[in-house]
């Protein structure tokens, strides 16, 4: 009996949380189209999510491209298909690794920062202060972060794709002795716009998830520093889980 | 005028307010006293619409807050100013941006005019030359005063003070009390203050209301409260551990 009681409570709490999160997503989206448009606030968030993430994306994408080339070469060499390494690196980066790795990195970096900042604002009553000054906290705090996530994730992914392919080229041509012209030709030969745009659509979805979940968790923070810590951890874990789960569904949607 | 009619509020199974009735006439300064965790701040948050009652009505200047949509309520809040317990200054904004925030959001004044108002409000709370400082660079007392300057930036008709002297040394507490008393008198605002600092309550109140077990136990002038026969009130205002109020 106690099991059913606990399970029931867990289900109710889960559904309540999902509903509250969906409501926050909805409101953040609706406020995109309602004035006032705080461009300074928006550009600050874009800089924080986008420009601030460039160094980590650069390092991750470079080494991912490099390791893909090494592993691809090892595998393809077994059936004399080393020439396909460029194609595999390009397709892997644009369709999957570029958006997913960028999403996971931004969730860990910018998502954690969003949850910690909003969580601190919540526990120090700055969110309430905004409301008492007749400013809607969702419009002022969440909407700019939501837009920044949706816009900057695809841009970071383009950067990540390019850097990853460059990393693969570097290893293939300089270390594994591939012909530079042939490698580049194989890189572009089978790469279609659909591959790139599919990856960018995923990135936009991930950007929305990161911003929405992180802001929600920040707004739920209570109980001082410990609460902010819990909100930050929760934001990263839930964002990353949702990125991996939604990745499958977006991929399935794009295939259909 | 502020009126709370039979307001009930619970959080989970914890009944915080159990039928609060309180009336504050225009231009009056009422202080609600009561122990920590008894729901004083919850009353304040009901008045400004940050919390909606489970039952009962909150009426401000004849308007029932329950009848307002979220957008209308936000607009309605322009007539309020609120000083938070920890000042709640926006820590990513400088002092002048904090005080001028509401003017920038709700008026079309140019930056120079906003800066002039900010300086005037800062002067009213006894501060000068700190416009460009960040909240992290200010002491607790300065933060409270900047918070007060922000609360009065739009010349509100109603000012709410949440524990204005908590965390301050006695001298700074007196400075803040004097400021609030002056503010109430000079700006002829309606004010509601939440505190458990009796010295502060006597200094700034026209009337004092005691909150106990989720209800307003008694309302009266500072003298009436001091002379109250109620043992709960006597124990509280004398700060005694002996009496009907149990400390768990």
ipTM of the complex: 0.90
Output the CA angle B65-B71-B74, nearest 5 degrees: 65
How far is it, in rounded angstroms, from Cα A228 to Cα A222?
7
Q: HEC string of chain A?
A: CHHHHHHHHHHHHHHHHHHHHHHHHHHHHHHHHCCCCCHHHHHHHHHHHCHHHHHHHHHHHHHHHHHHHHHHHHHHHCCCCHHHHHHHHHHHHHHHHHHHHHHHHHHHHHHHHHHHHHHHHHHCCHHHHHHHCCCCHHHHHHHHHHHHHHHHHHHHHHHHHHHHHHHHHHHHHHCCCCCHHHHHHHHHHCCCHHHHHHHHHHHHHHHHHHHHHHHHHHHHCCCHHHHHHHHHHHHHHHHHHHHHHHHHHHHHHHHC
CB-based contact B80 A132, cutoff 8 Å: yes
pLDDT recorded at residue B36: 84
pLDDT recorded at residue B168: 81
Decide: B1 and B26 in contact? Cβ < 8 Å: yes
Mind listing the pLDDT tens digit for each residue in B67-89? 999 889 998 999 999 999 999 99
How far is it, in rounded angstroms, from Cα A41 to Cα B103?
17
- C-alpha dist (Å) from residue B95 to B130, B133, B146: 7, 6, 7
| Res A96 pLDDT > 90 | yes
Query: What is the number of residues in chain B?
Result: 248
Mind listing the pLDDT tens digit for each residue in B38-53? 889 999 999 999 999 9
| Res A250 pLDDT > 90 | yes
Nearest to B82 among A120, A126, A132 (CB): A132
Q: How many CA atoms lie within 13 A of A80 on its CB side?
A: 0
Q: How many CA atoms lie within 13 A of A35 on its CB side?
A: 3
For residue A39, count other CB atoms closer than 10 A to its CB.
9
Range of the domain at B205: 2-88+158-238
Nearest to B48 among A126, A132, A136 (CB): A132
Q: Which segment of A81-85, A144-148, B157-161, B225-229 scores lowest on mean pLDDT? A: A81-85
Q: Is A251 on the interface with B (CB under 8 A)?
A: no
| B198 assigned to some structural domain | yes
| Res A72 pLDDT > 70 | yes
User: Distance, in angstroms, between A115 CA and closest chain B CA?
Assistant: 15
| B105 assigned to some structural domain | no
How far is it, in rounded angstroms, from Cα B59 to Cα A38?
33
Q: Best interface-test mutation with B: which of A41, A48, A130, A133 has the largest number of B CBs within 10 A? A: A133
Mind listing the pLDDT tens digit for each residue in B98-152? 999 999 999 999 999 999 999 999 998 888 999 999 999 999 889 999 999 999 9
Peptide bond into A36 cis (omega under 30): yes
pLDDT recorded at residue A31: 93
Closest residue of chain A to B71, computed from CA coordinates: A136
User: How many helices (H) does chain B have, and how many strands (E)?
Assistant: 9, 10
Domain chopping of chain A, boundaries: 1-30, 41-255
Which residues, numbered 75 to 114 in chain A, qualify as contacts with chain B under a Cβ-Cβ cut-off of 8 Å?
none
pLDDT recorded at residue B217: 93
Mind listing the pLDDT tens digit for each residue in A5-27? 899 999 998 899 889 999 999 99
Backbone angles phi and psi of A197, in degrees to 5: -65, -35
Mind listing the pLDDT tens digit for each residue in A23-66? 999 999 999 998 888 899 999 999 999 999 999 999 999 999 99
Average pLDDT, chain B: 91
Residue B222 confidence class, pLDDT cut points 50, 70, 90: very high
Q: Is A23 on the interface with B (CB under 8 A)?
A: no
String of b and e for A200-232 (b: at least 16 CB within 10 Å)?
Answer: bbbbbbbbbbbbbbbbbbbbbbeeeeebbebbb
For residue B246, count other CB atoms closer than 10 A to its CB.
6
User: Among candidates A71, A59, A68, A60, which has minimal Cα distance to A92?
Assistant: A68
* Average pLDDT score over residue span B174-201: 88
| B137 assigned to some structural domain | no
How far is it, in rounded angstroms, from Cα B24 to Cα B192?
8
Q: Tell me which chain A residues have a C-beta less than 8 angstroms from the C-beta of B105.
A: 36, 133-135
pLDDT recorded at residue B206: 92
Nearest to B86 among A125, A134, A135 (CB): A125
For residue A58, count other CB atoms closer than 10 A to its CB.
15
Decide: B155 and B112 in contact? Cβ < 8 Å: no
CATH, residue B175 = 3.40.50.300
Decide: B225 and B210 in contact? Cβ < 8 Å: yes
Q: Is A39 on the interface with B (CB under 8 A)?
A: no
CB-based contact B50 A126, cutoff 8 Å: no
String of b and e for B200-216 (b: at least 16 CB within 10 Å)?
Answer: bbbbbbebbbbbbebeb
Decide: A141 and A130 in contact? Cβ < 8 Å: yes
- C-alpha dist (Å) from residue B11 to B2, B42, B213: 24, 11, 15
In this structure, what token pair is assigned to residue B189?
Answer: 């605002």
Q: What is the DSSP letter of B243?
A: S
Mind listing the pLDDT tens digit for each residue in B160-171? 999 998 878 888
Mind listing the pLDDT tens digit for each residue in A103-141? 999 999 999 999 999 999 999 999 999 999 999 999 999
Handedness of CA A141, A144, A150, A155 (dihedral sign): negative
pLDDT recorded at residue B196: 87
In this structure, what token pair is assigned to residue B203?
Answer: 């200094």
Unique residue bearing structure tokens 């502060």: B200
Count up the domains in chain B and report the number: 1
pLDDT recorded at residue B248: 63
Q: What is the CA radius of gyration of chain B?
A: 18
CB-based contact B70 A135, cutoff 8 Å: no
Q: Which segment of A59-63, A224-228, B173-177 scores lowest on mean pLDDT? A: B173-177
Helix, strand, or coil (residue B158): strand
Q: Tell me which chain B residues have a C-beta less than 8 angstroms from the C-beta of A131.
A: 50, 74, 77
Residue A1 confidence class, pLDDT cut points 50, 70, 90: confident
Work out how many CB contacts closer than 8 A connect A with B: 51
| Res B154 pLDDT > 70 | yes
* Average pLDDT score over residue span B191-220: 93
- C-alpha dist (Å) from residue B117 to A105, B99, B111, B123, B124: 44, 9, 10, 10, 11
Decide: B239 and B198 in contact? Cβ < 8 Å: yes
In this structure, what token pair is assigned to residue A144?
Answer: 């700019």
Decide: B3 and B24 in contact? Cβ < 8 Å: yes
Residue A162 confidence class, pLDDT cut points 50, 70, 90: very high
């Amino acid at each position: 009996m106690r099991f059913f009681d606990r399970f029931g409570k867990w289900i109710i709490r889960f559904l309540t949380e999902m509903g509250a999160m969906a409501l926050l997503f909805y409101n953040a989206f609706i406020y995109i189209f309602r004035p006032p448009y705080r461009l300074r606030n928006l550009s600050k968030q874009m800089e924080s999510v986008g420009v601030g993430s460039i160094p980590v994306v650069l390092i991750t994408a470079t080494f991912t491209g490099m390791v893909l080339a090494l592993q691809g070469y090892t595998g393809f060499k077994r059936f004399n298909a080393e020439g396909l390494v460029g194609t595999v690196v390009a397709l892997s980066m644009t369709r999957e690794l570029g958006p997913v790795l960028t999403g996971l990195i931004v969730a860990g970096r910018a998502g954690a920062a969003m949850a910690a900042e909003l969580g601190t604002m919540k526990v120090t009553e700055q969110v309430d202060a905004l409301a008492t000054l007749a400013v809607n906290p969702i419009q002022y705090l969440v909407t700019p972060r939501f837009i920044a996530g949706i816009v900057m994730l695809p841009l970071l992914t383009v950067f990540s794709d390019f850097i990853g392919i460059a990393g693969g080229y570097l290893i293939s041509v300089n270390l594994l002795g591939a012909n530079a012209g042939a490698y580049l030709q194989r890189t572009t030969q089978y790469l279609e716009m659909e591959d790139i745009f599919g990856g960018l659509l995923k990135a936009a979805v991930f950007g929305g998830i990161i911003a929405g979940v992180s802001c929600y968790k920040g707004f739920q923070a209570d109980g001082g520093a410990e609460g902010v810590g819990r909100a930050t951890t929760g934001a990263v874990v839930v964002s990353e889980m949702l990125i991996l789960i939604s990745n499958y569904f977006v991929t399935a949607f794009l295939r259909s | 005028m502020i009126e709370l009619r039979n307001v009930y509020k619970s959080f989970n199974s914890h009944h915080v307010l159990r039928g609060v009735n309180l009336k504050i006439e225009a231009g009056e300064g009422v202080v609600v006293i009561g122990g920590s965790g008894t729901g004083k701040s919850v009353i304040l948050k009901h008045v400004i619409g940050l919390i909606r009652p489970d039952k009962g009505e909150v009426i401000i200047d004849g308007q029932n807050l329950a009848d307002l949509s979220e957008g209308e309520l936000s607009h309605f809040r322009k007539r309020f100013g609120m000083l938070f317990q920890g000042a709640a200054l926006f820590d990513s904004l400088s002092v002048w941006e904090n005080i001028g925030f509401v003017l920038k959001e709700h008026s079309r004044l140019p930056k120079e005019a906003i800066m002039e108002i900010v300086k005037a409000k800062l002067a009213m709370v006894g501060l000068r030359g700190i416009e460009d400082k960040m909240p992290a660079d200010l002491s607790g007392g300065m933060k409270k005063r900047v918070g007060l300057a922000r609360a009065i930036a739009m010349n509100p008709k109603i000012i709410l003070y949440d524990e204005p002297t908590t965390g301050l040394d006695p001298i700074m507490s007196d400075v803040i009390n004097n400021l609030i008393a002056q503010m109430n008198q000079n700006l002829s605002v309606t004010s509601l203050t939440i505190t458990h600092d009796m010295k502060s309550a006597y200094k700034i109140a026209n009337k004092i209301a005691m909150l106990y077990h989720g209800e307003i136990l008694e309302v009266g002038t500072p003298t009436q409260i001091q002379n109250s026969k109620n043992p709960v009130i006597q124990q509280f205002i004398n700060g005694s551990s002996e009496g009907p109020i149990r400390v768990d």
